[in-house]
Chains A and B, each alone.
Chain A
Amino acid sequence: MVDAARQPKIDVRTYTEVESVEGFVGNFKVTLREKAKHVLADRCNGCGDCARVCPIEVPNYYEMNLAPRKAVYIPMSQSVPLVYTVDLDACIHCYKCVEACGPLKAIDFSQEDKYVQEDIGAIVVATGFGHFDPSVMEEYGYGRFPNVITSMEMERLNNSAGLTAGNLIRPSDRKNPQKLAFINCVGSRDKRYNPGCSNFCCMYSIKNAVLLKQMYPNVDITIYYMDIRTPSKGYEEFYDRAREMGIHFVQGRPSLITEDEETHNLFVHSEDISLGRVIEKEYDMVMLNQAAVPQPDQNHMSSVLNVVQSPGGWFMEYHPKLRPIDSPTDGIFFAGACQGPKDIPASVAAGSAAASRASRILHSEKWEIEPIVAVVWPDRCSATTKGRACGLCVKACPYGAVVIDGDKAAEIITAKCHGCGGCVAECPEDAITQMHYTDAQILSQIRALLADKPEEKILAFRCQWCSYGGADLAGTSHFEYTANERGLRVMCSARMDSDFIYEAYRLGAGAVLYSGCHPQDCHYITGQKVGAKRADRLKKMFERMNMTDGRFRVEWISAAEGDKYARVLNEMQMTLDNMSPEELRDEIERLKPDMEKRLKRFPGVPGVSEAMDYSDTLVDAILKAKETS
């Protein structure tokens, strides 16, 4: 941090919050709130005279609230920049600090929060992780038994720069503990709290044990674990060393800690799995290795940055294997544990990767994006035809790429568009098209796929990222499924226009599959939700029309679920097999007029509606989009 602050090209803004992020890759407008310190940074020399006279003491969160700080404070001696802050919530306005500061006149109670806007080319998010509060696990007594502490508290207690100058003491009587127990997976790998593994606790609990054993060779340390995970280079060897040093390892997840109310010693109750017996051992102090969880304000940050969260709340990467550092929003990158628990080596690697990804943007004159962007044909937008834009496109876009300015036609900020096609399918006026996935292109595919014996075919709409991958996997894994399937790819289930489905049934398709990602896997933040909502409407509509159950199916299939893809298609084939040809034909004929009626306003359905007129304005719009992209 000190080094970073010295670097002339790094502008460190502490005590500052990101309020909002607007714009797009290369052109972000970021609003920052520089919180009032009530101390003028250019006058404060960090002498600390103010803190010495301040009569108020409050717990210091930096020391895990184990030690106090004053109402005017720096959290730690290495603070960057070395400028004090007045905590107004604690301050009693005695102004002793002002007096102590004297002629420097660095303290200024009239200072207010300042809002500044900066032009930013790329953003690296490195907000890290938070800590699970083990007091909700009554069985471990944290918060009730003074000598049950968390690993973060242990980090402060055995830190040579910490409150005890590295002299390990236990809270109840400040004596040096002789027998210590560490408990792993507290709140991690626990469906009641956090199902995931916290990644680094196994290693840091071994690290803490080794450090303590080096400092106090006679302490007795036992680590209780479910599994010890040492998957990186050198980690297993470190674990070996710990065992050779005499650190005890008990495989068994403690079910209970009780306390002797006089000595405040603790009894850890667990099964020793290797023995198959329940054991209860007495310790002076117990450390709980609590789960790493998302930051408490992670949801808020995710909406400020307009990025997505994985199940569990961590920030979600664009692609777990191929673009692990990128967010789904161009120009925003993740470094470190904000994306999921990572230890220091992994966090540093991610930080370097994010920096290099970001510098590519900063060094480019022009930024190329995928050419599959959406384009509005202003002539058809209801703003032009009816005087008022309906705004459905704005609602559908997960990236805020569609804007409607007053009574003008909708417009797409090409640099922000990721090409899910949600707006294209949602637009009731068919005023938006998607380059390389135009209605005309998709319709001609539908027509070609259903050209021959359509009643025998199952038309499967798949999204590029999940169900298409699922179908692929079904193929490469040789899972057998019906040969009557005809697959068709779009980028996202959001692009699966109702009109495509109507057209398929108008042409007499036997069955239609509407498939995409599971909601949490959607590549386009909320594109799947747009698709799912539409699919739901279609499903209800076909039910009302008494379509045979199973002729229209909506399924969310991940790229790993090849078996599911095959199963769903075979089930659909079974639905068709269970109908007699006459029955199927009658149903197709019965629904046809309805489909035709629904397609009347859709441009270019042979024999049903007029072909779309590619007017100059659309061509202009497309050319413009090409230029900007």
Chain B
Amino acid sequence: MSHPAAVRTFADEVKAIPGGEHLELCYSCGTCVSKCMIQQKVEPDYNPRRLLRMVMMDMKEEAFESPTTWMCSECDLCYQACPQEIHISQVIAAVKQLAVDAGYTSPLTPVQVDEALCSGCGICSMVCPYQAPSLFEKVVDGEIDRFAQVDSNKCMGCGTCVGACPLGAISREGVSNSEIQSQIPSPDQTIPDIITFVCDWSLREGADVELLESYPADQVNVVHIPCTGRIDPQHALMALDSGVKGVLVCGCKPGECHFKRGNHVAKCKLGLLDTMFKQIQSPHKEIRFVQIGTQERGRIRHEIDEILTAVSPAKEAK
């Protein structure tokens, strides 16, 4: 009798990478899929459960081409909810690593460094949640100089580096300073009571997003940013300068940031701005940072109503 020799399957390859081990325990219960925001918000074909299944069924090419492999931002919302305690983002990262090793590249648009502006300070590499930017040296005009470069397979496009770069040297279409500024009304336009900067992930698709859009334009102006990490203090200042009375920045609850820790970076920047305002005793204007969890249906309404009341003339008169 001859026995078949052991075959190294795709699943074996994934399981050999730390984090991939528990892959086969998956019940295919779908908890991860519905916990994850990506399918509902941006990509109908995004499905971590199905990616795990593809690995188990040895569907290597399909897995490497699946949007799930490339779009997982390692937020780990699903990991907390998986009844089999599978570290899904690590399994996906293992698949992505194998895909990159096999020569596949990320379909996402990464940020790009403008070397003419880059000072090589390295701030982008410090704030990036994915270690996508790094510094490299090259000789320019006979001198050794340092510049940032971005690993396009690692960049998730959160824009945190864009918001942090002091020289505007790193950017990408969709998150550039000019595009965000164009959403802020200039002094010659109708000035709303408040401007809210809202990240793409914190509000529930459907009810909460609709609710935000339902305020009249002269009351609430909405500026969309990929992540609160992208917020640049100059945007808040520009907004206040245009004449609005309040700025509301809305991001994910601690521990729920879609881009791992963009919300921490935002909290830090906005906190500093608030302190500076207090120091120069500027006429009172509201800058608020709220962090809304996936479970907090309807909370955005309260937050907006509260800041609207806070900045309303009745209140000022008192």
Name A's B-contacting residues (CB within 8 A).
138-139, 141, 185, 189-192, 226-227, 251-256, 258-261, 267, 269-273, 276-280
Contact = CB atoms under 8 A, between A and B. Distances in A.
B204 A258 contact: yes
8 contacts: A189-B83, A191-B84, A226-B27, A227-B27, A253-B83, A255-B34, A277-B39, A278-B34
Most-contacted residue by chain B among A185, A253, A256, A280 (CB, 10 A): A253
Most-contacted residue by chain A among B31, B39, B50, B78 (CB, 10 A): B31
Contacts of A260: 297-298
A271 B30 contact: yes
B153 interface: no
Most-contacted residue by chain B among A260, A271, A277 (CB, 10 A): A271
B297 A269 contact: no
Contacts of B39: 277-278
Contact of B206 (A185, A190, A280): A280
Contacts of A252: 29-30, 34
A363 to B, nearest CB: 48
B27 A256 contact: no
Interface in B83-109: 83-85
Given A253-B30, A256-B34, A278-B33, A267 B297 contact: yes
Contacts of A278: 33-34, 39-40
A270 B295 contact: no
Most-contacted residue by chain A among B49, B296, B297, B298 (CB, 10 A): B297
Given A258-B204, A259-B297, A260-B298, A191 B34 contact: no
A154 B315 CA distance: 49
Contacts of A253: 27, 29-31, 83
Contacts of B33: 271, 278
A450 to B, nearest CB: 35
A146 to B, nearest CB: 15
B81 interface: yes
Nearest to A272: B30
Nearest to A250: B30
A256 B294 contact: yes
A257 to B, nearest CB: 8
B288 interface: no
B215 to A, nearest CB: 18
B34 A276 contact: no
Nearest to A144: B295
Nearest to B47: A276
B297 A270 contact: no
Interface string B279-309: 0000000000000001111100000000000
Contacts of A192: 83, 85
B234 interface: no
B121 to A, nearest CB: 41
Contacts of B40: 278
B280 to A, nearest CB: 39
Interface in B197-231: 204, 206
Which 10 A-B residue pairs are closest in the complex by CB-CB distance? A271-B30, A253-B29, A190-B83, A258-B297, A271-B33, A255-B35, A252-B30, A255-B34, A226-B29, A271-B34
B44 interface: yes
Contacts of A267: 297
B28 interface: yes
A270 B78 CA distance: 12
Most-contacted residue by chain A among B33, B39, B78 (CB, 10 A): B33
A253 B49 CA distance: 12
Given A191-B84, A255-B31, A270-B30, 5 more contacts: A192-B83, A255-B78, A271-B47, A273-B49, A276-B50
Contact of B27 (A189, A258, A276, A277): A189
Contacts of B78: 255
A335 to B, nearest CB: 31
A271 B28 CA distance: 10
Nearest to A280: B206
A260 B296 CA distance: 10
A391 to B, nearest CB: 44
Contacts of B49: 271, 273
Nearest to B81: A255
Interface in B1-47: 27-35, 39-40, 44, 47
Interface in B63-92: 78, 81, 83-85
A508 to B, nearest CB: 38
Nearest to B295: A258
Contacts of A226: 27, 29
Nearest to A254: B34
Nearest to B49: A271
A273 B83 contact: no
A279 B50 CA distance: 16
Nearest to B39: A278
Contacts of B83: 185, 189-192, 253
